[in-house]
A and B are shown apart, each in its own frame.
Chain A
Amino acid sequence: MPQTPMADKPLLTVRNMSISFSSPDEADIEAVRQVDLTLTPGKTLALVGESGCGKSVTARAVLRLLDKNAVIPSGEILFDTGQGAVDIAQLKPDSLAMRSIRGAEISMIFQEPMSSLSPVHTIGDQIDEIIILHDRVSPKQARERTVALLDQVGVPGARDRANAYPFELSGGLRQRAMIAMALACTPKLLIADEPTTALDVTTQAQILDLLRQLQDDYGMAMLFITHDLGVVAEVADDIAVMYLGDVVEQGDVYEVFRSPKHPYTQALMNSVPRLSRKADRQRLSPIKGTVPSPRDRPAGCAFTSRCPHAFAPCPDQRPERTQLSAGHVARCHLLTREPAEALA
């Protein structure tokens, strides 16, 4: 994995951000609470968690693409535009300032390449559009760049394929087109929301390879959302583990994988199947129970109801962020208190 100098200034800093959803006839739901994330150029942060844990919502909040009923009641999202920092959390979602960041500075690729592309416009038209929008070039020049981009992301016969509709392409090619679109204006940050989940394994590897290579070429930061720890090991420099709206553990990916400190991270690592001979296999240990609804989340640690070590303070007191080593942080009472009660 290529190493960029550590001295790099953070590109995007999410500090203490919460997101809540309101609905007309029920109480508000806090989908994400007090999340801190840092992204640096050339590096990849993987945001990991089960479905519904708030990882996609977090990512969309960065581009202010949340539904109308979502608000960011607290926290800031500081983005370094090159001419000083902008707090994205304060921008209006449909403002010019926000729109000139979207697609140009920060772009995003999505899980479902089929439904994420318009079915009635050609691939080329959809890519041209973003180039014309941000770089104000003629349609002809835009198309030239589109073809070059498609070529770069490995779409064979790029010039012809630019005139194809999404349903005429395979899943892998569609995702490549999606990536070409995201990179069209050389963004500083790429948010990839489970970009490989809908693809089969071999295509998955190709796309991951492509993303890594493009990151080298462009030197951009990447926020990679996934539930697949294998993919994390493949692409990430840093990892943040989310559970029901909380980031329970985050840090250097190597460090976290080597010694996970939060019981949820540990459980997650234990539920990943490994390739081994039958005789050497150990039973997987799935996590007990199911994820409760955010409505039933305890005031304290979100993982309380399924944690094998849960003890007195867990349901009511929110564990503090505990620094374990340089850049390795977790939120768990076990790290600050004697676990005697829990073991009893």
Chain B
Amino acid sequence: MLRFIFNRLIAMVLTLFAVSVVAFAIIQLPPGDYLTTYVATLNSNGDRVDPSTIEALRQQYGFGEPFLVQYWKWISGILGRGDFGQSFEWKAPVTTLIWGRLGNSILIEGLAVIAMWTIALPIGIYAAVRKYSLGDYLATIGGFIGLAVPNFLMALVLMYLSFVWFGTTIGGLFSPEFENAHWSLPRIWDFLSRAWAPVLVLATAGTAELIRILRANLLDELKKPYVTTARAKGLPEWKVILKYPVRVALNPLVSTIGWLLPTLVSSSVIVSVVLNLPTAGPLLLRSLTSQDMYLAGAIIMLLGILTVIGTLVSDLLLAWIDPRIRYGSK
């Protein structure tokens, strides 16, 4: 088990390195360098720029030097001082802008993962045990719709329907009075009363996928001899199913979190834009449209890191529940 964790950690460090390179490459992509844009913005605002400040910045970020040198300056700033660079649009260090929004992203995505599982588990088990029943067909149809309707479209439709039916607009995560308050019971309630919509929208595609996989796995497992063994012990049917085939069918399901996460993070960006959520998504979009590249690069990298860590957690979880992996056997 320790060896397994160690291997995974090594792999994660390598992946994180690759993530940072990709993020930095994106920072470098737009034509012209950041500093020129920065100076141009300052000048256009009528601010006088001190040449020595520019020179200091040039030194700090290594502009005009090779990619690797610039990368090194950037990454060592992040690792050493937690400095992700400056956002020229907001005229503030990137770090002051992202953490709160990233926290909201993690919160919404975490809730979406929980929602996926709580919805998918009972439906998937029911659909497999009562194969070809009405409920099974309904679950299948619902699954197809969940897979085919893009998240942002679902968010748009939900927004429209709630406006037409209830005269309210859904969107945002907090009412104005709770916007900057500390966490308290009323604030949690306010949050939940608004968060359900984005969470459900985000969870649909994943839920549909989980139901499909769980149903298929469980149908396979239900035919296995060990299920008959469990019945031959005299266990009641529901206990047989929950304790044995469902337990085994859960293993591959846990590993699907690993590849559902990238999709989830992806769609949370676009859903947040539609529903106007204070998460990292809209900030990323805005920074990209205004070519505020250090901010954009930081968000892309942090979202990547979030995904990588989530995948690691799902891998470890899988190892923890599946003895075959824990003991390194196939």
Q: What residues of chain A lie closer than 8 Å to B236, measured between beta carbons?
A: 94, 99
A133 and B324 within 8 A (CB) = no
Q: Does B59 contact A (CB under 8 A)?
A: no
| Residue of A60, A103, A107 contacting most chain B CB atoms (<10 Å) | A103
A129 and B233 within 8 A (CB) = yes
Q: What residues of chain B lie closer than 8 Å to A118, measured between beta carbons?
A: 226, 229-230, 244, 247-248
Q: What residues of chain A lie closer than 8 Å to B323, measured between beta carbons?
A: 119-120, 122, 165, 167
Q: Does A264 contact B (CB under 8 A)?
A: no
Q: Give min CB distance, A65 to chain B, whole Å.
A: 6
B327 and A168 within 8 A (CB) = yes
Q: Does A134 contact B (CB under 8 A)?
A: yes
Q: Does B234 contact A (CB under 8 A)?
A: yes
Q: What residues of chain A lie closer than 8 Å to B232, measured between beta carbons?
A: 63, 65, 102-103, 107-108
Contact with B324, one of A112, A116, A130, A167 (Cβ below 8 angstroms): A167
Q: Does A232 contact B (CB under 8 A)?
A: no
Q: What residues of chain B lie closer than 8 Å to A115, measured between beta carbons?
A: 224-226
| Residue of A103, A119, A167 contacting most chain B CB atoms (<10 Å) | A119
Q: Does A51 contact B (CB under 8 A)?
A: no
Q: What residues of chain B lie closer than 8 Å to A165, measured between beta carbons?
A: 323-324, 327
Q: Does B256 contact A (CB under 8 A)?
A: no
Q: Does B83 contact A (CB under 8 A)?
A: no
Q: Does B235 contact A (CB under 8 A)?
A: yes
Q: Does A314 contact B (CB under 8 A)?
A: no
Q: What residues of chain A lie closer than 8 Å to B322, measured between beta carbons?
A: 120
A165 to B325, CA, bound (A): 12
Q: 1/0 contact trace for A116-150 toward B, CB 8 Å? A: 11111110000001100110000000000000000
Q: Does A47 contact B (CB under 8 A)?
A: no
A107 to B230, CA, bound (A): 11
Q: Give min CB distance, A323 to chain B, whole Å.
A: 35
Interface size classification for chain B: 20 to 34
Q: Does B86 contact A (CB under 8 A)?
A: no
Q: Which residue of B lies closest to A107 (CB)?
A: B232
Q: 1/0 contact trace for A67-98 toward B, CB 8 Å? A: 00000000000000000000000000010000
Q: Which residue of B lies closest to A165 (CB)?
A: B323
Q: Does A110 contact B (CB under 8 A)?
A: yes
Q: Which residue of B lies closest to A108 (CB)?
A: B232
Contact A102-B231, Cβ < 8 Å, known A94-B237, A117-B226, A119-B226: yes
Q: 1/0 contact trace for A162-181 toward B, CB 8 Å? A: 00010110000000001001
| Residue of B232, B235, B322, B329 contacting most chain A CB atoms (<10 Å) | B232
Q: What residues of chain A lie closer than 8 Å to B327, measured between beta carbons?
A: 165, 167-168
Q: Does A307 contact B (CB under 8 A)?
A: no
Q: What residues of chain A lie closer than 8 Å to B251, measured between beta carbons?
A: 120
A120 to B321, CA, bound (A): 8
A116 and B226 within 8 A (CB) = yes
A117 and B229 within 8 A (CB) = yes
Contact A99-B226, Cβ < 8 Å, known A120-B251, A120-B322: no
| Residue of B226, B234, B327 contacting most chain A CB atoms (<10 Å) | B234
A184 to B225, CA, bound (A): 19
Q: Does B228 contact A (CB under 8 A)?
A: yes
Contact A110-B234, Cβ < 8 Å, known A115-B224, A165-B323, A165-B327: no
Q: Which residue of A lies closest to B229 (CB)?
A: A116
A104 to B324, CA, bound (A): 30
Q: What residues of chain A lie closer than 8 Å to B248, measured between beta carbons?
A: 118-120
Q: 1/0 contact trace for B70-111 toward A, CB 8 Å? A: 000000000000000000000000000000000000000000
Q: Which residue of B lies closest to A67 (CB)?
A: B223
Q: Does A208 contact B (CB under 8 A)?
A: no
Q: What residues of chain A lie closer than 8 Å to B224, measured between beta carbons?
A: 115
A284 to B231, CA, bound (A): 42
Q: What residues of chain A lie closer than 8 Å to B226, measured between beta carbons?
A: 115-119
Q: What residues of chain B lie closer than 8 Å to A65, measured between beta carbons?
A: 228, 231-232
Q: Which residue of B lies closest to A166 (CB)?
A: B226
Q: Give min CB distance, A188 to chain B, whole Å.
A: 14
B233 and A130 within 8 A (CB) = yes
Q: Give min CB distance, A254 to chain B, whole Å.
A: 31
Q: What residues of chain B lie closer than 8 Å to A122, measured between beta carbons?
A: 323
Q: What residues of chain A lie closer than 8 Å to B321, measured between beta carbons?
A: 120
Contact with A110, one of B225, B233, B244, B247 (Cβ below 8 angstroms): B225
Q: Give min CB distance, A94 to chain B, whole Å.
A: 5
Q: Does A38 contact B (CB under 8 A)?
A: no
10 pairs, A vs B, C-beta closer than 8 Å? A99-B236, A102-B232, A102-B233, A103-B233, A110-B228, A111-B225, A116-B228, A117-B229, A118-B247, A120-B324
Q: 9 additional contacts, CB 8 Å, given A102-B234, A103-B234, A134-B234?
A: A63-B231, A100-B234, A102-B232, A103-B233, A121-B247, A130-B233, A167-B323, A168-B329, A178-B229
Binding site for A on B (CB under 8 A): 224-226, 228-237, 244, 247-248, 251, 321-324, 327, 329
Return the 10 tightest CB-CB contacts between A and B, nearest first. A102-B234, A103-B234, A103-B233, A116-B225, A99-B234, A130-B233, A108-B232, A94-B237, A165-B323, A115-B225
